[in-house]
Amino acid sequence: MPAGTPAGTATPVLTWCNAVSGCVSGAEQARDRTAVDCSRMTSSAIVASGLKKAYGDKIVLDGIDLDVRAGTVFSLLGPNGAGKTTTVNVLTTLVSADSGTVRVAGHDIRSETKQVRAAIGVTGQFASVDELLSGEENLQLMADLHRLRGSAGKQVVRQLLRRFDLEQSAGKLASTYSGGMRRKLDLAMTLVGKPRIIFLDEPTTGLDPRSRRTMWTIVRELVADGMTIFLTTQYLEEADQLADRVAVLDQGRLVAEGTPDQLKRQVPGGHIRFRFADAPQLAAATRVLSGSTPDPDSLVLRVPSDGGVKSVRAALDRLDEYSVDVEEFTVHMPDLDDVFLALTGHSSTAEVSK
C-alpha cells in the first residue's frame, strides 16, 4: 500500500542502546548475517518520543520512544493486541497520536506529512492487493499513482515482477495467488515509489516456512540496497534473523530494546527435554547432567542448552557413557513466550486488557 493512499505493565524498560553510534559490537558483527556498515547508521530514519494513543478509555500506546538508525532493520516484537499496527499507523501518518513527537526521514509527521509520505512505503498487515486485477495490473496501478508514465512505469513493473519472481503469474488475477505470492506482490507494490523507509507489518504471519524464508531474503536485499526497514513480528526467530535492533512491545509499552543477542541473553529459555522410560533412568540422568531439572510425573528432564548440535551431542554422549537410555528428546529454543515470561513475568498470550 502506498503511504499516501491509506486505506500497562509497570515493568521497567531495559535499554541497551549505544546512544553514540548505534553500531553493534565486534562479537555481534560476527553473527551469521551481513554486518551493518556503521557509516550508514549515523543518522536516524525514525525518531519517536513519548508517543501516546488511546481509543476511548483504552490506552493502546503508553509513551513509546524509538530511534531507528538509517540503513538498518528495526523490529517491533509483540503478541496480538500489543499495539504494533497502531505504532505503524502512527509512524506512517495513517493515524494521529494523542501526544508525542515523531520525525521520519528527518520530517515531522504532523507538520511535514507530505514529505514523510514521499519517503516511506507501507506494507500493511493484511495484503492490500486488488484481487480483481492481475499482479501486473496491480503494479501498473501503483506506477500510475506515482505518475510513472509510459515506458518508465512499464520498466519498473517489469523489474519488480522479475525481482519478486512473479513473472510467470504476472497475467493471473491476484485472487488466484497464494498467501506468499500475495505478500510478495504487496511488497513489490510498496517499492514502486522507491521509498527510503519501509514499514512491514507482520510480513510473514500465516506464511509457510519456505515463503517466510523468501520474504527474509527480500528484506535482507532491501537493506543491502540502503533502505531502512521497520518490521513488526510475533516471531522471535524472525526478529533474530533480520533485525539489527529489537524492541519488545507489551500492552502499549516498550519493555526491552536491544540487539537480538542482548535480548536472548535475558531469556533463559533454551533447553533440551529428555524423556525416560522409568524413574531410575530419570534419577540417573539427573545425576550425570548438571544443572538439570527433573519432572518425576512426566519422567522428563530439562537440561539448559543453547540448542546447538555440540551441546545436544555432549548431553547424549554423557547419558550414553553412563548407560542411561533416552526414550525421546526435543530441543527447545527460546520463543516469544519465553521472552515475555522473562521480561514481563507473564506469557505473550496472557489476556491483553486494561
Ligand X SMILES: Nc1ncnc2c1ncn2[C@@H]1O[C@H](COP(=O)(O)OP(=O)(O)OP(=O)(O)O)[C@@H](O)[C@H]1O
Binding site for ligand X (CB under 6 A): 55, 60, 78, 80-86, 125, 234
* Shortest Å, Cβ 202 to ligand X: 6
Please choose which of Mg ion, ligand X, none residue 82 contacts, taking the beta carbon within 5 to 8 angstroms, the exact cut-off set by kind: ligand X
* Shortest Å, Cβ 1 to ligand X: 15
Q: Where are the beta strands (DSSP E) in 259-299?
A: 271-275, 293-295
Cell numbers at 53, concatenated = 494513543
| Cβ contact 202:46 at 8 Å | no
Cell numbers at 28, concatenated = 555481534
- Taking the least distance from each CB to ligand X, the nearer of 85 and 228 is 85
* Shortest Å, Cβ 206 to Mg ion: 12
- Taking the least distance from each CB to ligand X, the nearer of 85 and 128 is 85
Please choose which of Mg ion, ligand X, none residue 81 contacts, taking the beta carbon within 5 to 8 angstroms, the exact cut-off set by kind: ligand X
Nearest to 243 by CA among 220, 214, 266, 212: 220
- Taking the least distance from each CB to ligand X, the nearer of 170 and 249 is 249
Please state the separation of Cα 79 from the chain's center in Å: 11
- Taking the least distance from each CB to Mg ion, the nearer of 24 and 66 is 66
Q: Tell me: does residue 233 bind Mg ion (CB under 5 A).
A: no
Q: Tell me: does residue 85 bind Mg ion (CB under 5 A).
A: yes
Residue with cell 510498496: 190
- Taking the least distance from each CB to ligand X, the nearer of 276 and 340 is 340
Please choose which of Mg ion, ligand X, none residue 307 contacts, taking the beta carbon within 5 to 8 angstroms, the exact cut-off set by kind: none
- Taking the least distance from each CB to ligand X, the nearer of 206 and 268 is 206
Residue 104 to residue 346: CA distance in whole angstroms: 33
- Taking the least distance from each CB to ligand X, the nearer of 83 and 334 is 83
Helix 135-145 vs helix 179-191: crossing angle, to nearest 10: 20
Q: Tell me: does residue 125 bind Mg ion (CB under 5 A).
A: yes
* Shortest Å, Cβ 201 to Mg ion: 6
Binding residues for Mg ion, total number by CB under 5 A: 3
* Shortest Å, Cβ 293 to ligand X: 32
Please choose which of Mg ion, ligand X, none residue 286 contacts, taking the beta carbon within 5 to 8 angstroms, the exact cut-off set by kind: none
Q: Where are the beta strands (DSSP E) in the chain?
A: 14-15, 44-55, 58-69, 73-77, 99-104, 107-108, 120-123, 197-201, 228-233, 245-250, 253-258, 271-275, 293-295, 300-304, 328-332
* Shortest Å, Cβ 232 to Mg ion: 7
* Shortest Å, Cβ 250 to ligand X: 10
Nearest to 85 by CA among 223, 245, 230, 260: 230
Please list, in sequence order, all residues whose beta carbon lies within 8 angstroms of the beta carbon of residue 264, skipping any fewer than 6 positions away. Answer: 240, 334
- Footprint of Mg ion on this chain (CB under 5 A)? 84-85, 125
